[in-house]
Amino acid sequence: AHQPNPLNLTMSSEGKLTVLVASATANTGSKAVMALSKKGNISVRAMARNVEKAKKMLGNLPNVTIVKGDFGDEKSMDAALEGVSRAMLVCGPGKHEQYDYECDFLLACKRANVEGIVRISTYSCLIHRGTRNVYARAHSSIEGNIEVHGHPVVDLNPNWFMDNILSSAGEMKAAGTMSWPVKGDAKNPFIDTRDVGNAAAEILASDSETLKKFIAAKKIELHGPEMTSFQDQIAKLSKAVGYEIKIKEVPGAAWVGALMGFGMSKLFANSLLETVNMCDKKKKTYRPGVAKTS
pLDDT of 93-146, one tens digit each? 998 999 999 999 999 999 999 999 999 999 999 999 999 999 999 999 999 999
Torsion of CA 238, 29, 273, 275, to 10 degrees: -100
Question: Of the ranges 11-20, 123-132, 181-190, 229-238, which one carries the lowest mean pLDDT score?
Answer: 11-20
pLDDT value at position 291? 64
* pTM for this prediction: 0.92
What is the structure's pLDDT at 289? Answer: 72
What's the whole-number average pLDDT of the chain? 93
Report whether 18 contacts 10 (CB < 8 A).
yes
What one-character DSSP code corresponds to residue 177?
E
Is the pLDDT at 290 greater than 90? The verdict is no
Which residues, 6 or more positions from 161, have their beta carbon under 8 angstroms from its beta carbon? 27, 190, 191, 192, 193, 196
